[in-house]
Amino acid sequence: MPTLLCMTQTISRRRWFAVLLAFLSLAPIARAADDAAKFAKWEKTIAAFEAADQQRPPTKGGILFVGSSSIRMWDVQHSFPELLVVNRGFGGSQIEDSTHFAERIIGTHEPRAIVFYAGDNDIGSGKSAETVAAHFEQFVAKVRGKLPETQILFIAIKPSGSRWKHIETQRATNERIRTICERGPRLTFVDVVKPMLGKDGQPREELFLKDRLHMTGAGYAIWNEQLRPLLQKIVPVDPGAAALLSGKRIVFLGDSITYSGQYIAYLESLLRTRFPLKEFDFLNLGLPSETCSGLSEDGHAGGQFPRPDVHERLQRVLDKLKPDLIVACYGMNCGIYLPFAEERFAKYQDGIRRLRSAAKTAGAKVIHLTPPTYDPRPLKGGGSASYNGVLDRYSEWLISQRANGWTVIDIHGPMNAHLAARRKQDPKFVLANDGVHANPTGHWLMTQAICDYLRQQGIRTGQGVSLDDQGPKDSHLLEWKCVLDAPMDPAWNADSLALERSHYLLNGNWIHATPLKAPRFDVTEGGQVVGTLTAYELQAPDSLGADLRNLNGLSINQRTGELLKLVQRRQRVLTDAWLNEVGHLRPGMAKGLPVAEAADEAERLYIQIVNLVQPTKLTLKLVPNAEPFPGKKSDWHGFDRYEFLVAGNTASVVVPKKSAPGNPWVWHGEFFGHKPAPDIALLGHGFHIVYLSVPNMLGSPEAVSHWNSLYRELTRRYGFASKPALVGLSRGGLYCYNWAAANPDKVACIYGDAPVCDFKSWPGGKGKGKGSAGDWKLILDRFHFADEAEALAWKLNPIDNLAPLAAAKVPLLHVFGDADDVVPWDENTGLIAERYEKLGGKIELIRKPGVGHHPHGLEDSTPIVEFIRKHTAP
C-alpha cells in the first residue's frame, strides 16, 4: 500500500509537472494575445499614419513629435514654421503604446530628432514613477535599435489641475527621467514645469482648457519657447529658405511661366495667411520669352524678335528695386527646345553664374528654381520630343550646386513624378495644355515644391468639445479665434490635390466633438445654415476632427477666394509698372501705370489684404439632424434612399436598417435598381448601396475623376469602408474596371454582369457584337480621341489593364449569357478570365447557357450575395 501510494504520488507529480509545462508553454501565447488586445484600439490611428506616409513619403531628417494628446493637439507646424516637423501624437496613449508602434510611426521618417511627451496618462492610470521611467528607457532602446543617431527630447510631465493629486508621482518620475537623459547620449530633458506654475505653486489656470488637463495656446507658447532653441541647434535652417521667409523685398525673375504670376500669387496668398502680421513684397518681374543663356531660335516668334536675355536688364532690376532676395526660374527657354548640346548647356551654366554674381555684388541672396516640366505630348508642332531630358540635365546640375552653398528648390522633379503618376490614371492628363506653360495645377505643384523646401505647413485651429450633457435634439454653440485658410483655386485638379495630399499646406479650422447623439449636424452662422458635418468626421479618431473647408457658406471660406483675387490684382499692378520702369527688349507687353501711381494702388490693395488675413472670431452653432445623409429622401424597396450632390453629380445612397461592422458598401457602375434582389439582400446584411449618376461618360477618365470625388466623400466624411464591392452591369463594367485599375488598393471585389470590358467590342462593334454608333461617338468624345484610329489603339481597356488588380489580389465574379450578341462574352468576360488567371488573379464564372445579354442576374442571387459578403468582411 505504501508503494502504491508512492507510485500514485509520483504519477500525480508527473501529471502536475506536465500540466505546469503545458501552462508555461501557453503563457507566451496568452501574453501575446493580451498585448494584441491592449494595443488594438490604436490600430486605426496607426494605419492612418501609415497611409499618410505612403501617399506622401516623409522627408527624412526632420523633427517628429510623438506621444499622447498633448502632442496630438499641438500645432507644431505653426509653432515651428522654419523647421520640418511632423506630428504623430495619438490621444490617450501611454509610453508603452509609442514603444509598441515605434517602427510604424517613426521608422519611415528617419528623423533627426524626436520630441516625446508621454507619461501623463501612465501616472493617471496608477503606474509608479519607477515603472514610467523604465518604460521611457524601453522607448529609447526601441528607437536606438533602428536610429542610433537620432536625438530624443523628453518634455517633462506637466503639472495640471486635473491631475494635481498625482503631482508627487509626477515629480519623482520627472527626476528619474531627467537623470536618464543626463547620463545617456543624445537625450535631452526639457523642463516645462516651473513656468507652468503660478506664484502660489499651483498650475496656472490660463494655460489650460476647461478640462484642466489639455492646454490652451498660452500653454503651448511656453513649450515652444523652451523647445525652439534646442531644435534650431539640432536642425539648422537653410539660409536661402530663411531669406524667403524673412526678406522684405523679394523679386521673382523668369520667363512667361513666372510672368503669368500664378505660382507667385499662390505662394504669397499662402504665406499671408501663415504670417498675417509680416510685412513683405513679392515683385514679379518675369518676362515672356526670356532666357538666361542668351540663346534664341532662328525665326523666333515668327521672326518678329529674338528671345530677350535677362542680363540685358538685370543690373537695372538690381539698381531700381534693391531686392533682399531674387528667386530665379530659368531653363525652359534656355535650351531653345533643341536636343541636348554641351555648347548650349555651357551657355545656360554661364548665364546662371552671371546672375548669381550680379546679385551678390548688389547684396541680394538668390534662390534658384529648377525649370518646370516640358511635356511634348500636347505640344502641336515644334520642340524636341526629348527636350524634357534636356531640362532633366539642367535641373540635375542646378541641384548639384547645393554642395557649393547654393539654395536650389527642385520643382522639375516633383512635377515629373506627378505627371507620371497621373498618366497611369489618365493617359491624357497634362500639367501644361501646350506642353510648356503650366496650367493652374502645374503652378500649384510649383508652389507646393517651394513650400516643401521651406518646410511650410498649414496652421490648424479649432475646438474640441464634449457633448456629454447634450440631448439628441440640443444644439451647441462654439466660439473661437480662427485663421483664414489659404485660397484653393477652383481650377486645381481635385485628383492631383488628393494624390499630393496638398491640404497639409493649407490652413484649416476644425471641430472635434464627442459623444454624438445624431448622425449629422447642420452648422449655422449668423442664423443661416452654412453647411453640414457628419458625426463620423466630427469624432474621427485619426484626425483633428471635421474640416470646416467643407462648409461652402462659411464666412471665412468665402473670404479665401477674395484674398487670391486681391493678391493677383496687386501683383499685376506692380509687375506691369516695374517692367515698364526697368525697361526690356520684349515687344507687345502691357505698359502699366507709372511706378508712383502703381505703388499707391498696391498700398490700397495691401491694406485690404492685411485686414482680410487677420485671425477672426468665429461663432457657430451645431444643430442635430436626424437624417444620416442630406438631400432628397425616398423609399427604395422598404429602405431609405437619399439623393444629394457630390462635385455637381447626383449620388444615391440606400441605407440599411442597421449598418454592419466596418460600414461595407456596394457601388454600382450603371443601371442602378435593375434586378435589385442582390442589393435588397445585402441591405438586410447591413450594406449601403451606392450609385453615382454620371451617364454617357462610359468609364472615361472624367468619370473616374467623379468617382474619386464620391469615394473621398463617403470614406472621409461618412466613415464608409475603404474597400467597396463594385457592381458592373453591362456598360457599368467600364466604370467599375477603369476606376478599379486606377485605385486597386481601394477595391474589395468586382461583380460583373455581362460587363463591357473592351469598348472596341461594345459600343465599337469591331468584333462579333452589334455595336452602337451613337455610343461609339460618345467614346471618341469622352475619351478625347482625335479619331477612331487612336481609339482602336487604346491599351487601357479593362481587358488590357488587369495587372494592377491582379497585384492587389482583387477577386472577380462574372455572370454572363453565352449567347450574348450585344456584349459577346468571349470578347469581354472570356478575355478577362483568360488574362486575369495568367496574371495570378482569381475569377469565378457563372455561365447562363443559351442566354443573351438579357435578362441580367440570377434567379437565385445567393452566389452573388455570398461572393460580396465573403470579400468585404472586415
pLDDT score, position 487: 86
Separation of alpha carbons 803 and 424, rounded Å = 12
Residues of the chain by 3-state class (helix, strand, coil), percent to 5: 45, 15, 35
Q: At 7, is the pLDDT very low, low, confident or very high (cuts 50, 70, 90)?
A: very low
Q: At 24, is the pLDDT very low, low, confident or very high (cuts 50, 70, 90)?
A: low
Q: At 54, is the pLDDT very low, low, confident or very high (cuts 50, 70, 90)?
A: confident
DSSP per residue, 721-781: -SSPEEEEETTHHHHHHHHHHH-GGG-SEEEEES----TTTTTT--SSS---HHHHHHHHH
The answer, yes or no, to whether the previous bond of 855 is cis (omega within 30 of 0) is: yes
Same fold across 58-234 and 632-872: yes
Q: Provide the b/e sequence for 429-464 (b: ≥16 CB within 10 Å).
A: bbbbeebbbbbbbbbbbbbbbbbbbbbbbbbbbbbb
Main-chain phi, psi angles of 147, to 5 degrees: -130, 75
| 481 has a pLDDT exceeding 90 | no
Cβ neighbourhood burial of 761 (10 Å; 0-12, 13-18, 19+): buried
pLDDT score, position 460: 62
Superfamily of domain 632-872 in the CATH hierarchy: Alpha/Beta hydrolase fold, catalytic domain (3.40.50.1820)
The answer, yes or no, to whether the previous bond of 515 is cis (omega within 30 of 0) is: yes
Cβ neighbours for 138, distance < 8 A, ≥ 6 positions apart: 95, 96, 99
> Among the CATH numbers 3.40.190.10, 3.40.50.200, 3.40.50.150, 3.40.50.1110, which is that of 239-457+559-580?
3.40.50.1110
Main-chain phi, psi angles of 530, to 5 degrees: -110, 0
Say which DSSP state 787 is in: S
| 232 has a pLDDT exceeding 60 | yes
Q: Provide the b/e sequence for 169-189 (b: ≥16 CB within 10 Å).
A: bbebbbebbbebbeeeebbbb
pLDDT score, position 427: 87
Q: Where are the domains of the chain?
A: 58-234, 239-457+559-580, 632-872
- Answer for the pair 822, 855: CB distance below 8 angstroms, yes or no: no
Q: How far is CA 303 from CA 298, 299, 300, 813, in A?
A: 7, 4, 5, 62
| 241 vs 214 pLDDT, higher one | 214
DSSP 3-state of 480: strand
Cβ neighbourhood burial of 5 (10 Å; 0-12, 13-18, 19+): exposed
| Closest listed residue to residue 123, CA positions, set 159, 90, 88, 83 | 159
The answer, yes or no, to whether the previous bond of 763 is cis (omega within 30 of 0) is: yes
| Closest listed residue to residue 609, CA positions, set 323, 277, 284 | 277
CA 375 to chain centre: 25
Separation of alpha carbons 768 and 825, rounded Å = 10
- Answer for the pair 577, 594: CB distance below 8 angstroms, yes or no: yes
| Closest listed residue to residue 171, CA positions, set 152, 158, 187 | 158
Q: What is the dihedral of CA 493, 495, 500, 502, to 10 degrees?
A: 60
| CATH for the stretch 58-234 | 3.40.50.1110
pLDDT score, position 39: 86
| 306 has a pLDDT exceeding 90 | yes
| 86 vs 700 pLDDT, higher one | 700
pLDDT score, position 22: 53
Lowest-confidence pick of 31-35, 104-108, 138-142, 160-164:
31-35
DSSP per residue, 230-299: HHHHHSPPPHHHHHHHH-SEEEEEESHHHHT-HHHHHHHHHHHHH-TT---EEEE---TT-BSS----TT
| 1 has a pLDDT exceeding 70 | no
For residue 412, give the C-alpha cell: 522639375
Percent of the chain's residues with pLDDT above 70: 91
pLDDT score, position 8: 35
Q: At 76, is the pLDDT very low, low, confident or very high (cuts 50, 70, 90)?
A: confident
Beta bridge partners of 525: 528
What's the angle, vertex CA 867, arms to CA 861 and CA 872, rounded to 5?
130
Which contacts qualify for 421-427: CB closer than 8 Å, 24 or more apart?
A: 421/499, 422/495, 422/496, 422/499, 424/742, 425/495, 425/701, 425/704, 425/742, 426/495, 426/701, 426/704, 426/705, 426/742, 427/701, 427/796
| 386 has a pLDDT exceeding 50 | yes
Separation of alpha carbons 63 and 111, rounded Å = 5
Q: What is the mean pLDDT of residues 78-96?
A: 84
pLDDT score, position 30: 47
Q: Give the number of other CB atoms < 10 A from CB of residue 674.
A: 16
Residues in the chain: 874
Cβ neighbours for 807, distance < 8 A, ≥ 6 positions apart: 744
Q: At 860, is the pLDDT very low, low, confident or very high (cuts 50, 70, 90)?
A: very high
Cβ neighbourhood burial of 527 (10 Å; 0-12, 13-18, 19+): exposed
- Answer for the pair 769, 762: CB distance below 8 angstroms, yes or no: yes
Q: What is the mean pLDDT of residues 248-273?
A: 95
pLDDT score, position 618: 87
| 397 vs 427 pLDDT, higher one | 397
| 539 vs 314 pLDDT, higher one | 314
Q: Give the number of other CB atoms < 10 A from CB of residue 24.
A: 9
- Answer for the pair 407, 446: CB distance below 8 angstroms, yes or no: no
| 204 vs 458 pLDDT, higher one | 204
Q: How far is CA 486 from CA 262, 268, 608, 737, in A?
A: 14, 10, 16, 36
Separation of alpha carbons 433 and 428, rounded Å = 10
| Closest listed residue to residue 629, CA positions, set 639, 641, 638 | 641
